[in-house]
Structure 1
């Protein structure tokens, strides 16, 4: 027996902005993880910087209309 406990759809950030953010963050985390194992502080902080860049890109894409319910994603009615 399944009950929907949400009054509205959750959405889970399924948008180009969210996916781009996640992809960039994964790349940054991979760089930082490898650098940590190699004890390379410079490369580690570069990976952290890539993760920060992912946040900036994702936020910028959301503001540009590519987030959930963004104006660039809704079909236009001609």
Structure 2
């Protein structure tokens, strides 16, 4: 065992107090929800393939491909204006 102390050195910001009034969004948008949902389907497919065993190697890689497709769909929807603060989500008064 080591005799070193369990304390860690934390970096302290000298830029002033943190502004907690800024809205972060946390990815609550159609693009984020679609991306996560498609990727979740890919994970489920991969998990089922993993449980089946060696005979489902192709099914596992299909699950991995679905995860990649989910990422691409999420980015495409963000570019199309469905991300946080996107043009398609702004209230235009109608």
Higher Rg of the two aligned structures: 2
Which runs of 5 or more residues in structure 1 are unaligned?
none
Give 1:69's aligned residue.
85
- State the TM-score, normalized to the length of structure 2: 0.74
* 1:21 is aligned to 2:29: no
Question: Does 1 or 2 have the higher relative contact order (CA < 8 Å, sep 6+)?
Answer: 1
Q: List runs of 5+ in structure 2 lacking aligned partners.
A: 1-17
> Structure 1 stretches (4+) deviating beyond 6 angstroms?
none
Q: Map of 1:1-78 to 2, 5 A cutoff?
A: 6-39=20-53, 40-77=56-93
TM-superposed CA distance for 1:32, in Å, is 0.2
RMSD: 1.6
Measure, in 1, the Cα distance between the counterparts of 2:32 and 2:21: 23
Aligned length: 75
